[in-house]
């Protein structure tokens, strides 16, 4: 009989803060039984920096923790062992395997047949991947007998961090950088090692550690040494590091490097400069993966500054790293500011315009890194046509795990279903099946390089990304980069099992929420291909539809009183649809064959245009926004049904976010439907828009020490107004007599939580205090903050099950703090069962 591991008995008492992500190695519950697992781990490489050695350590640790079984690491084989090493090392030691195993670079063979476990990598890193796969099985209570080879679909499986040397992270929502602070590399790299472990466990083989908007000071001799320490820390996990470069570095007076007067990529002094710097880097990091370059985009310098082509710019770096086996990831995110009064101007055309003419001119070790859609990480975009336009250039897709335009980790949005719309898209190149994922793997155009990059932006927060549930996106990214045909729901189930345990109800509940989350977010943030209608000029977080237009950024909606959408047809618009291969071009050229979910991406139509669903565009907007917010309002309750099945800290932290999302989804909904109702003048068939029977506007209440404030943008306040205290030191109150029928109500208070102050509030009903709270979400939520009353700072707090009698006095007392004048928008009284 098996003796229960002690840790299994204490189960959920195990402290959990998210730091180990999906690598918790939680003790299996007592209900699970398992077959014999060898006690002897044979490690065929004892060099401590080798991923094979790491694999042995990881197996020992994992088996101890999951099964409560001590293992011995040795180099002696007995009959019953877990044998870990490269396939070559195995064959040297034991002779050929009984069957032929076909391994590609980084692949592994895993066999659990009989009483021996074989974990054999094509290379050292592949061996570690095999060990993590085996441990993932054990941690999920899966003891089936398997024997298979697993190979990655594509060689490039990178992540990008947009970390700045000062320790901030561009579009990062999980705290400060784990790599940098105060202009250099941090001393304590413990978190870097833990990050490398997470990366390796899902098959990621390289990381670019600094922001694409790069800084030349990364190239000082001190910083190069520091990068060497980072590389040393990640090497045992098989994760190579890469660097983002600032194109004009030679002219920046970089300490310890020569200072030139030009950064012209064809200038011989510039070539020498980069050759020298590259050689210094490879001295410190002999296995550096390569460079990532953002050039001539969003204010970044590049080769075009000197009338050189982007290919000439990319090849400058490619030649510098080529002798060391490095590669250059050159970003296709290149575009100029445009004029909206030009009907044919289109930022979506930029990538094909810039890169198609250069096809064949990039050196072999250049990979063009292409965002999944033609604009910028929007909630829905068509697959970038550039994937179909480069036949003689290696390509990688750029995804974004960090939810820049998708709720900044305060909204639950499981992204893989969005990524799938691109990876599984058939470009019909030469009228033949040509899925984007096959193009990336190099199969379609016979390229030896290619693959995946994702902007992850983990930070020092214990949860890495700021939110426990967002870690599913990180996990799934690695899994899909390894095998993009995997079922994204199944990936989520595995992740949930590893992260929250084996309770089927927990797995089903969280996975079902995840599956519904991207459609819900799309529903309340931007429909029919109009893009995420967020504030593109400020924080990219809350709603601000009009910020898309009347500026040079080219994320236009072209909404007026009667019509909306970008005409990207060849016949009458920007011609973008014609940049796809003929069959796809024909599909997008015509409204009748354009899928509804991309209608406004490709066509400029009246609000009354009928969709394939039979609804008009405007009614679809209204219905979708209501449906999306309704779904988001169920998440917190569904999560709450898991109380007791998830450890307290992670449960409470996630609950806070899901409640926040419930409120913010309503702010999104109301802002967008109000905006389009206002601009189109078309009523909602169901009479919901602008009609809120359970709401009391703060500006309609008796104000004492408060004054009325006109909110901008108008649609981010109910009836366009809120109230704020008459000064930043006045304690104010607002009150009114309630006339709702007596009964139990769920109360919501919509207020604004600005960065730069933590106002305090108290709500009383019938002289009984219902609740007190602070506008202090800046201490809990990592989204980009706002210092204004707007769609980013707008929030709702709720109080359940409150007794209300007719004639009760409702009173809210607000105590301002800092720049925050205790702003209140409205109060809503929802009878039991009524969702707002
Ligand atoms: C987006 C993002 C920027 C980033 C840019 C890029 O526009 O908002 O912060 O620098 O993408 O990918 O280079």
Between the alpha carbon of residue 220 and those of residues 249, 274, 289, 573, the distances in Å are 11, 13, 19, 49
The answer to whether the CB of 334 is under 6 A from ligand 1 is no
Cα 295 to averaged position of ligand 1 atoms, centre (Å): 12
Residues of the chain with confidence (pLDDT) below 50: 1-13
Instruction: Give CA torsion, residues 765, 768, 774, 775, to 10 deg.
Output: 0
503 Cβ closer than 6 Å to some ligand 1 atom: no
- 596 in active site: no
Does residue 615 have its Cβ closer than 6 Å to ligand 1?
no
Q: Which helix (H) or strand (E) covers residue 160, if one does?
A: strand 156-160
What spacing in Å lies between the alpha carbon of 350 and ligand 1's midpoint? 15
One domain for residues 657 and 734? no
Q: Which helix (H) or strand (E) holds 330?
A: strand 327-331
661 and 719 together in one domain: no
Number of domains present in the structure of the chain? 4
Which residue has the CA at smallest separation from atom 2 of ligand 1?
171
268 is a domain residue: yes
Residue 706 lies in a domain: yes
Are both 298 and 444 inside the same structural domain?
A: yes
Supply 19's token pair: 């730091």
Distance (angstroms) between ligand 1 centre and the Cα of 32 equals 47
Burial class of residue 643 in the structure, from the number of CB atoms within 10 Å of its CB (0-12 exposed, 13-18 middle, 19+ buried): exposed
Q: Which residue has the tokens 């079922």?
A: 487
| SS3 (DSSP) at 196 | helix
Q: Which atom of ligand 1 is nearest to the CA of 455?
A: 12
Say whether both 664 and 783 belong to one domain: no
- Ligand 1 geometric centre to CA of 161 (Å): 12
- Residue 492 Cβ < 6 Å to ligand 1: no
Burial category of 729 from C-beta neighbours within 10 Å (exposed 0-12, middle 13-18, buried 19 and up): exposed
Q: Is 58 a catalytic residue?
A: no
Whether 433 and 453 map to the same domain: the answer is: yes
**DSSP-assigned beta bridge partners for residue 803:** 744
597, β-bridge pairs: none
Nearest to 763 by CA among 780, 776, 751: 751
pLDDT at 788: 98
Which atom, in ligand 1's list, is nearest to the CA of 170? 9
Q: Evaluate whether residue 466 is within a structural domain.
A: yes
pLDDT at position 1 is 30
CB of 212 shorter than 6 A to ligand 1: yes
Dist. CA 687–CA 685, nearest whole Å: 6
**Which one of 631, 656, 680 terminates a domain?**
680
Measured by CA distance, the residue closest to atom 7 of ligand 1 is 376
Which residue's CA is the closest to the ligand 1 atom numbered 11? Answer: 376
Q: Are 555 and 457 part of one and the same domain?
A: no
Concatenate the DSSP letters of all residues of 581-628 into one string.
-HHHHHHHHSGGGS-GGGHHHH--EETTPBPTTS-BHHHHHHHHHHHH
Q: Is the domain of 327 the same as that of 189? A: yes
Considering only CA atoms, which of 233, 453, 246, 467 is closest in space to residue 329? Answer: 453
pLDDT at 835: 86
Those residues whose C-beta lies under 8 Å from the C-beta of residue 127, and which sit 6 or more positions away, are 51, 52, 55, 84, 85, 86, 108, 119, 120, 121
Q: Compute the distance from residue 212 Cα to the ligand 1 centre, in Å.
A: 8
Annotated active-site residue in 376, 589, 647, 653: 376
CATH of the domain at 613: 3.90.1330.10
- Is 168 touching ligand 1 by the criterion CB < 6 Å? no
DSSP 809-827: EEEEEEE-BTTB---EEEE
Domain match, 120 and 207 both: no
3-state helix, strand, coil in the chain (%, to 5): 35, 20, 45
- The answer on 245 and 289 residing in a single domain is yes
Centroid of ligand 1 to alpha carbon of 464 (angstroms):
20
Residue 446 Rama label (left phi>0; alpha psi -120 to 50; beta): left
- Alpha carbon of 732 to ligand 1 centroid (Å): 42
Domain with residue 94: its CATH number is: 3.30.379.10
List the catalytic residue out of 88, 113, 166, 298. 298
Q: Is 736 in the pocket of ligand 1 (CB under 6 A)?
A: no
Q: In testing the pocket of ligand 1, which one of 168, 169, 171, 292 has its CB within 8 Å of the most ligand atoms?
A: 171
**Atom number in ligand 1 closest to CA 211:** 10
Residue 188 annotated to the active site: no
Residue 294 Cβ inside 6 Å of ligand 1? The answer reads yes
Give Cα 271 distance to the centre of its chain.
36
pLDDT for 824 equals: 98
- Domain co-membership, 173 together with 257: yes
Whether residue 195 is found in the same domain as residue 116: no
Q: What is the DSSP letter of 754?
A: -
Q: Please name the helix (run of DSSP H) or strand (run of DSSP E) that holds residue 159, with its range, or none.
A: strand 156-160
Verify whether ligand 1 is closer than 6 Å to residue 171 (CB atom).
yes
Range of the domain at 245: 156-500
Co-location of 137 and 249 in the same domain = no
CATH code for position 755: 2.60.120.260
Angstrom distance (rounded) from CA 716 to CA 328: 44
For residue 507, is it within any domain? no
CA separation for the pair 659, 645 (Å, rounded): 19
> How long, in residues, is the chain?
836
Domain with residue 456: its CATH number is 3.20.20.80
C-alpha of residue 656 to centroid of ligand 1, in Å: 28
State how beta strands 40-43 and 81-86 pair: parallel
Assess if residue 527 is contained within a domain.
Answer: no
Atom 13 in ligand 1: residue holding the nearest Cα: 212
Distance 399 CA to ligand 1 centre (A): 12
Would the CB of 287 count as within 6 Å of ligand 1? no
Distance in angstroms between the alpha carbons of the first and the last residue of the chain: 55
Of ligand 1's listed atoms, the one at least distance from the Cα of 212 is 13
| Atom 12 of ligand 1, residue of closest alpha carbon | 333
Distance of alpha carbon 573 from alpha carbon 586, whole angstroms: 14
Residue 545 tokens read as 């539809």
**374 found inside a domain:** yes
C-beta separation of 625 from 671 below 8 A? no
Q: How far apart are CA 208 and CA 620, in angstroms?
A: 41
pLDDT of 78 reads 64
Atom of ligand 1 nearest to the CA of 398: 12
Neighbouring C-beta atoms of residue 779, cutoff 10 Å? 7
Q: Is residue 113 part of a domain?
A: yes
CA of 377 to the centre of ligand 1 (A): 9
Of the residues 106, 312, 346, 404, only one is catalytic, namely 404
Q: Kindly report the protein residue whose alpha carbon is nearest to atom 1 of ligand 1.
A: 376
Determine the residue of 292, 294, 376, 453 to mutate for testing ligand 1's pocket, defined as the one with the most ligand atoms within 8 A of the Cβ atom.
376
Whether ligand 1 lies within 6 angstroms of the CB of 372 is answered as: no
Give the Å distance between the CA of 787 and the centre of ligand 1. Answer: 22
Residue 14: the pLDDT is: 56
- Of 150, 167, 185, which residue is a domain's last? 150
The model's pLDDT over 665-693, given as tens digits with 9 standing for 90+, comes to 999 999 999 999 999 999 999 999 999 99
Give 63-83 pLDDT, tens digit per residue.
999 999 999 998 776 668 999
List b or e across 448-481, with b for residues whose CB sees 16 or more CB atoms inside 10 angstroms.
ebbbbbbbbbbbbbbbbbbbbbbbbbbbbbbbbb
Identify whether 66 is part of a domain: yes
With beta carbons less than 8 A apart as the criterion, state whether 677 and 684 touch.
yes
Contact 84, 62 (CB under 8 A): no
Choosing from 170, 293, 298 the residue with most ligand 1 atoms within 8 A of its CB, the one to mutate for a pocket test is 298
């Amino acid at each position: 009989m098996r003796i229960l591991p002690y840790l299994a008995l204490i189960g959920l008492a195990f402290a959990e803060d998210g730091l180990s992500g999906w690598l918790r190695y939680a003790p299996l519950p007592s209900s699970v039984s398992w077959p014999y697992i060898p006690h002897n781990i044979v490690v065929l490489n004892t060099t401590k920096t080798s991923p094979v050695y790491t694999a042995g350590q990881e197996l020992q640790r994992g088996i101890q923790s999951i099964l409560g079984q001590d293992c011995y690491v040795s180099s002696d084989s007995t009959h019953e062992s877990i044998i870990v090493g490269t396939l070559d090392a195995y064959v040297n030691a034991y002779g050929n395997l009984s069957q032929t195993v076909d391994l590609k670079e980084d692949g592994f063979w895993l066999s659990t047949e009989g009483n021996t476990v074989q974990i054999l990598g094509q290379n050292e890193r592949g061996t570690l991947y095999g060990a993590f796969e085996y441990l993932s099985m054990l941690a999920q209570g899966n003891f089936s007998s398997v024997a298979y080879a697993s190979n990655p679909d594509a060689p490039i499986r990178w992540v990008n961090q947009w970390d700045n040397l000062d320790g901030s992270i561009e579009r990062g929502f999980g705290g400060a950088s784990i790599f940098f602070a105060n202009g250099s590399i941090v001393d304590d790299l413990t978190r870097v090692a833990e990050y490398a472990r997470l990366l390796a466990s899902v098959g990621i083989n390289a990381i670019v550690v600094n922001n694409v908007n790069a800084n030349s000071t990364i190239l000082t001799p001190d910083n190069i040494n520091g990068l060497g320490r980072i590389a040393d820390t990640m090497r045992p996990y098989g994760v190579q590091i890469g660097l983002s470069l600032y194109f004009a570095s030679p002219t920046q007076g970089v300490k310890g490097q020569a200072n030139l007067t030009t950064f012209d990529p064809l200038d011989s002094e510039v070539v020498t400069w980069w050759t020298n710097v590259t050689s210094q880097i490879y001295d410190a990091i002999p296995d550096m993966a390569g460079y990532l370059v953002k050039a001539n985009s969003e204010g970044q310098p590049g080769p075009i500054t000197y009338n050189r082509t982007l290919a000439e710019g990319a090849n400058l770096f490619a030649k510098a790293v080529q002798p060391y086996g490095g590669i250059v990831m050159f970003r296709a995110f290149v575009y100029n500011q445009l004029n909206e009064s030009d009907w044919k101007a289109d930022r979506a055309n930029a990538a094909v315009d810039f890169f198609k003419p250069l096809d064949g001119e990039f050196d072999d070790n250049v990979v063009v890194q292409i965002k999944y859609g033609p604009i910028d990480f929007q909630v829905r975009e068509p697959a970038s046509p550039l994937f179909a336009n480069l036949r003689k250039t290696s390509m990688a897709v750029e995804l974004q795990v960090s939810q820049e335009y998708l709720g900044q980790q305060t909204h639950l949005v499981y992204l893989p279903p969005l990524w799938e719309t691109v990876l599984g898209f058939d470009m019909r190149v030469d009228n033949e099946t040509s899925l984007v994922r096959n193009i990336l793997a190099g199969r379609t155009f016979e390229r030896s390089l290619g693959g995946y990059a994702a902007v992850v932006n983990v930070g020092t927060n214990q949860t890495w990304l700021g939110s426990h549930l967002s870690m599913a996106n990180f996990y799934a990214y690695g899994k899909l980069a390894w095998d993009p045909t995997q079922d994204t729901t199944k990936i989520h189930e595995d992740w949930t099992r590893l992260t929250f345990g084996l309770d089927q109800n927990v797995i089903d509940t969280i996975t079902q929420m995840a599956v519904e989350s991207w459609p819900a977010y799309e529903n309340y943030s931007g429909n029919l291909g109009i893009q995420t209608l967020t504030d593109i000029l400020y924080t990219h977080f809350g709603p601000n539809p009009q910020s898309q237009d009347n500026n040079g950024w080219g994320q236009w909606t072209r909404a007026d009183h009667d019509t909306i959408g970008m005409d990207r047809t060849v016949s009458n618009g920007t011609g973008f649809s014609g940049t796809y291969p003929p069959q796809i071009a024909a599909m997008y050229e015509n409204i009748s064959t354009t899928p509804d979910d991309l209608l406004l991406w490709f066509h400029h139509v009246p609000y009354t245009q009928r969709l394939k669903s039979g609804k008009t565009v405007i009614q679809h907007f209204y219905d979708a926004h209501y449906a999306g917010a309704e779904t988001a309002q169920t998440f917190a309750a569904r999560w709450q049904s898991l109380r007791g099945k998830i450890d307290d800290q992670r449960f409470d932290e996630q609950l806070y976010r899901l409640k926040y999302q419930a409120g913010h989804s309503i702010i999104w909904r109301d802002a967008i439907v109000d905006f389009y109702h206002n601009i189109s003048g078309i009523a909602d068939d169901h009479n919901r828009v602008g009609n809120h029977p359970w709401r009391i506007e703060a500006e309609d209440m008796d104000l004492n020490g408060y004054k009325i404030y006109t909110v901008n943008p108008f649609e981010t306040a109910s009836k366009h107004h809120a109230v704020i205290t008459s000064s930043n030191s006045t304690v104010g109150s607002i009150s009114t007599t309630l006339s709702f029928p007596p009964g139990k109500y769920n109360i919501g208070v919509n207020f604004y939580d600005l960065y730069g102050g933590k106002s305090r509030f108290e709500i009383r009903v019938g002289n009984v205090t219902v609740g007190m709270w602070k506008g202090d979400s800046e201490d809990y939520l990592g989204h980009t903050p706002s210092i204004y009353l707007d769609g980013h700072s707008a929030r709702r707090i709720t109080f359940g099950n409150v007794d209300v009698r007719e004639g009760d006095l409702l009173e809210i007392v607000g105590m301002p703090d800092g720049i925050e004048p205790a702003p209140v928008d409205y109060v809503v009284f929802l009878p039991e069962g009524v969702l707002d």
